[in-house]
Amino acid sequence: MASVTRAVFGELPSGGGTVEKFQLQSDLLRVDIISWGCTITALEVKDRQGRASDVVLGFAELEGYLQKQPYFGAVIGRVANRIAKGTFKVDGKEYHLAINKEPNSLHGGVRGFDKVLWTPRVLSNGVQFSRISPDGEEGYPGELKVWVTYTLDGGELIVNYRAQASQATPVNLTNHSYFNLAGQASPNINDHEVTIEADTYLPVDETLIPTDGVSLLLPRLECNGEVAPVQGTAFDLRKPVELGKHLQDFHLNGFDHNFCLKGSKEKHFCARVHHAASGRVLEVYTTQPGVQFYTGNFLDGTLKGKNGAVYPKHSGFCLETQNWPDAVNQPRFPPVLLRPGEEYDHTTWFKFSVA
């Protein structure tokens, strides 16, 4: 069983409203989520000695989340990840989005779903947030009704995303939590062992948009984005690799790539991360076709986090389960358009344990 408690987290400036915090607690996990951006602000997990540590990066106060910061713990929408040059076509009509990460549109635009106040509803074992994204918000077509539900079941945090559209629009929702299984004040994630259940990944150009290429995997279809086998590359994470050593061996700055998962809409295994020193294990399962594995390459130690922590490069990792980047412009990628009468419905499971 899980308990849910509700408290005020802070007030938005200029009478923008009250941000509330919901604490979900089971015998194995404690999770804090606020109504600003449906943001996970803390997640406490025990190690093999039974000592609890907070394993997500973030801030103790609302002010931290209102400053320029890299989407710590937030829900991302209307479209997570990058849209090339901020343009796309739906049914022949061209749409233009704000270019907020030159030369592309990133994570829903200037004021995405992470920078709005959501309406909460307490459930017996969690909390559901909802909002209506108006027609034209950040340049996207149609009104979108969205529900994000967090529930706790023992050592598992379950996140469900649902949406309904008044006209055809791309939709791709995810959570952007940064994890460090050693504890959120630890300097890096080099000693984490990572496994990702993916036979293919998407190579990207210097602006992190999937590259054009001739895919051997799908020869008969129109080829836009390249889908490359991981076999024999730095992206083969099908067996556990120790992250720091792996990045060194392959001379990589870090990961910020989409890994292509099983094409099934059913729950499937996505990734496992093990921190040997503490014994903590995170397993991720999802209904989504991809996961963006990001190793905090843009963190630079300038932000002051919880308990005086600073967050240098590679001090946290993200496993953002989602559709593939720029899917709205790539006919071969999994479909990303939601049409009236359909429902977007995806779930991701974050399962914590010790080994």
Q: Which token pair is 288?
A: 């989504």
- Residue 317 CA from chain centroid, whole number: 10
Joined together, the tokens standing for residue 192 give: 């984490």
Structure-token match 């007030």, residue found:
11
Give the whole-angstrom CA distance, residue 88 versus residue 337: 11
Scored b (16 or more CB within 10 A) or e, 288-324 reads bbbbbbbbbeebeeebebbeebebebbbbbbbbbbbb
CA distance linking residue 38 with residue 22, whole number of Å:
10
Strands (DSSP E) contained in 78-187 are 82-83, 87-90, 93-96, 105-106, 119-123, 126-133, 144-153, 156-165, 169-170, 174-175
Residue with tokens 């017996």: 124
Q: Which of 44, 137, 283, 320 is catalytic?
A: 320
| Residues contacting 355, CB < 8 A, separation 6+ | 48, 274, 279, 281
Catalytic position from the list 107, 176, 274, 314: 176
The answer to whether 94 is a known catalytic residue is no
Strand 318-322 relative to strand 169-170: parallel, antiparallel, unpaired? Answer: unpaired
DSSP designation for 221: S
User: What is the C-alpha separation between 256 and 296, in angstroms, rounded?
Assistant: 8
320 is catalytic: yes
Catalytic annotation, residues: 176, 320
